[in-house]
Structure 1
Amino acid sequence: MRALHLTSHESPPALSELPVPQPGPGQIGVRIGACGLNFADLLMMQGRYQDTPPLPFTLGMEIAGTVETLGEGVTGLAPGDRVAVYGGRDGLAEYGVFDATRAVRMPESMSLEDAAAFQIAYGTSHLALDHRARLQPGETLLVLGAAGGVGLTAVEIGKLMGARVIACARGAEKLEVARAAGADHLIDARSQDIREAVLALGGADVVYDAVGGDQFTAAFRSARPEARILTIGFASGEVPQIKANHLLVKNLTVMGLYWGGYLSFRPEALTGSLATLFGWYAEGRIKPHISHVLPLDRAMEGMELLRSRASTGKVVIRIPG
């Protein structure tokens, strides 16, 4: 089978021919149809992600496909079932083996591309806003990186939860994507002072930050007393440093959210969130925004779209049978 395989953190991954893996006990073998790309894939290539597997490994964190084989002891799934899987790796390949507990049946109406773009982006935002920040109807939510893979879902989910949403992104084209997702107010990070613009709108109760760097600092300074600030990621490449005395003065709370981490210590929070989200999809209330669908042999072009922030929403790699 073909797979985008990484053998060194000093050189790019290569499309390689590898043996088709066979499932062990508790695992399923999946014919992969689509794989969603994530900023974490870029960090894994550099060995900088918190869950980077040991070399060598195949990239690709979330997939959608069809169950082909079952390992010993697997129940509740059958060959032919269409599933979405967050595997954390091994997704940019024609076949993959994953723990059966990580597989979720897709709604009948859901395409493989939508399913591959769904779990991490929507799961991160819903768990962050609902479970962690306890976003309430009528509160003001500021989303940084609002046209990105997770940021756009934060706009959409924040609006569904009844918040007033301020979307911050770079350039008119990306802001238009955020507006279409439900944003009430738009801030252009290229040309506007984020702090002044947010304060002019009354400040933020919840900040959703997938960017870091100077944008975090501006958002921090525009937060209302008792605001909750969610650190989701650092697309800017700069991890902000927080002065504890500033938290004290405004009674602020800064909280982290690593979606995949819930699999190891509180999986029911993650699975319950996904059940809600798949229900919303089936009802037509949410739908992934996918700006690019590329074949497996162009997967590195997709990675570059993420790195350069040239995409909006998700980039998906289609893996035809």
Structure 2
Amino acid sequence: MMFAAIVRSFDCAPKYELVDTPEPSESSEVLVDVLAAGLHNRVRSQANGSHYTSSDKLPLIPGIDGVGRLPNGQLAYFVAPDTSLGTFAEKAVIDLRRSVPLPEGVDPVLIAAAMNPAMSSWVALHRRVDFQPGQKVLVLGATGNSGQMAVQIAKLLGASQVIGAGRDQNRLNSLSALGADVIVSLAGDPEAAAKRLGEAASEVDIVIDYLWGKPAELAMLPLLTQRSDRSRKLTWIQIGSVAGPTAAVPSAALRSANFQLVGSGQGSVSTAGYVAEFPALIDAISAGKLQVNSVSFPLSQVEEVWNAPAGMGERVVFIPSVETERAL
């Protein structure tokens, strides 16, 4: 038996319960001791049934990635298989093909906190577009955890200008320290915000979009119509849908400019493609090239922490046991 966070209703926070320990069933699987697992937005949508990969199957153990100790003692970062047995547990069955070993001395909490929010923009810029150093990037939804990472990653990979756009003014103000050259407030009237975006970001080469919905819909034409050369390609990478699952794409956007709309996420990038990017991203995080504000809690506090408001920019990481927390 082991302790785990269990979701029994999509309307309630997970509860800390004693459950059967899972067992490997394939030759590529092993049982690991989970040292740290992050509470990402993706985990919350998994636990409330709203993610596009979610099924209606309950109960489930949430958690989509983590740092674990392999049977041979090696630490590894891993992404959980798409099952109801996630990483918010003392032990988890992992597929070794979806894991990479960690360098000695790496902080498991730091890796668990940073990998998921960093992965979306890192993989998008490496796998979904032909990003070149010197290009300009707009991060739409830059005040979220993934958006803050995207600002840093775009700059790290050589963007000549990074524009961060979001609603939370306090978080917007913090983006300059992360590498943003320009910030744009999306607060207030949506059409006025779209106009501000068009004025500030019409010359970008790439949009990394975590919002979608009305903000994306309204911003497309202002960005495109004010470009000095509409034949120069603008690639819009759709990653998140915080502002809504749908957006009406104006037909003029596709006809009057060299406008490319792509998505990046599970399915558009293979599992092997994600895993291939893990080592370089882990190196960047462990070398301190990406800032992350992590805060850890024992997994036994999952219900309490789940319902508590997060601090600004904090990335919550759960530690499966008090003993493991002390060891770290």
Question: Normalising by the residue count of structure 1, what TM-score does the alignment of the two structures yield?
Answer: 0.85
Deviation at residue 233 of structure 1 after TM alignment: 1.1
Find 1:46's aligned residue among 22, 26, 48.
48
In structure 2, runs of 5+ residues without a counterpart are none
- Cα drift, residue 168 of structure 1: 1.4
* Helix, strand or coil at the partner of 1:186: strand
Residue 178 of structure 1 aligns with which residue?
A: 175
Task: Tell me the equivalent position of 2:279.
Answer: 275
Against the structure 1 CA distance between its residues 116 and 40, is the aligned structure 2 distance closer, same or farther, given a 3 Å change threshold? Answer: same
SS in 2 for 1:250: coil
**Is residue 36 of structure 2 the alignment partner of residue 34 of structure 1?**
yes
CA contact (8 A) 2:210 2:239 kept: yes
Query: Percent identity among equivalent residues?
Result: 25
SS, match of residue 167 in structure 1: strand
Deviation at 1:309, TM superposition (A): 7.5
Between the aligned partners of 1:208 and 1:107, the Cα distance in structure 2 is 30
Q: Distance in 1 between matches of 2:37 and 2:153?
A: 23
Say whether 1:231 aligns with 2:276: no
Determine the C-alpha separation between the residues in 2 that align with 1:56 and 1:155. Answer: 37
Q: How does 1:298-313 map to 2 (within 5 A)?
A: 298-304=301-307, 311-312=312-313
Partners of 1:63 and 1:112 in 2: CA distance: 8
Out of 46, 50, 66, which is 1:63 matched to?
A: 66
Structure 1 contact 292–311 (Cα < 8 Å) conserved? no
> AA paired with 2:66?
I
Residue 187 of structure 1 and its aligned partner are, at CA, apart by 1.7
Please tell me whether residue 3 in structure 1 is matched to residue 1 in structure 2. Answer: no
Question: Which portions of structure 1, spanning 4 or more consecutive aligned residues, are displaced by more than 6 angstroms?
Answer: none
CA contact (8 A) 1:37 1:302 kept: no
Query: What residue in structure 2 maps to residue 83 of structure 1?
Result: 76
| Contact residue 148 and residue 313 of structure 1 kept, 8 A | no
Counterpart position of 2:216: 216
Amino acid aligned to 2:62: L
> Equivalents in 1 of 2:185, 2:320: separation in Å?
36
- Secondary structure of 2:120's counterpart equals helix
Aligned partner of 1:253 among 251, 260, 265: 260
* Aligned residue number for residue 194 of structure 2: 195
- Range 153-162 or range 232-241, more displaced: 232-241
Contact preservation (8 Å) 2:111, 2:286: no
Question: For the Cα contact (< 8 Å) 1:59–1:90, is it kept in 2?
Answer: yes
| 2:164 aligned residue | 167
How far 1:302 moved relative to its partner? 4.6
1:319 matched to 2:312? no
Aligned to 2:22: 21
State the AA in 1 paired with 2:61: T
Deviates more, 1:27-36 or 1:41-50: 41-50
| Distance in 2, Cα, partners of 1:186 & 1:252 | 23
Deviations 1:155-188 (A, max 9, x none): 1111012221011123332123322211111122
Unaligned ranges ≥5, structure 1: 69-78
| Aligned equivalent of 2:103 | 107
Structure 1 residues 24-69: Cα deviation after superposition (integer angstroms, max 9, x where no partner):
332111111111122222222332222225322100111112113x
RMSD value, Cα: 2.5
User: What amino acid maps onto 1:207 in structure 2?
Assistant: V
What secondary structure is seen at the aligned counterpart in 2 of 1:136? coil
Q: Do the aligned partners of 1:207 and 1:219 also contact (CA within 8 Å) in 2?
A: no
**Is the alpha carbon distance of 1:148 and 1:41 closer, same or farther for their aligned partners in structure 2, counting shifts above 3 Å?**
same
Shift of 1:202: 4.7
Counterpart-to-counterpart distance in 2, 1:9 and 1:157: 33
Q: Work out the CA distance in 2 between the residues paired with 1:242 and 1:147.
A: 24
Alpha-carbon offset, residue 218 of structure 1: 3.7
Letter paired with 1:135:
F
CA distance in 2, matches of 1:57, 1:261: 25
Q: Which amino acid in the other structure matches residue 48 of structure 1?
A: S
Distance in 1, matches of 2:304 and 2:216, equals 29
Q: TM-score scaled by structure 2?
A: 0.83
Distance 1:80 1:9 in 2: 36
Going from structure 1 to structure 2, the CA distance change for 1:14 and 1:283 (only over 3 Å counts) comes to closer
Deviation at residue 194 of structure 1 after TM alignment: 3.3
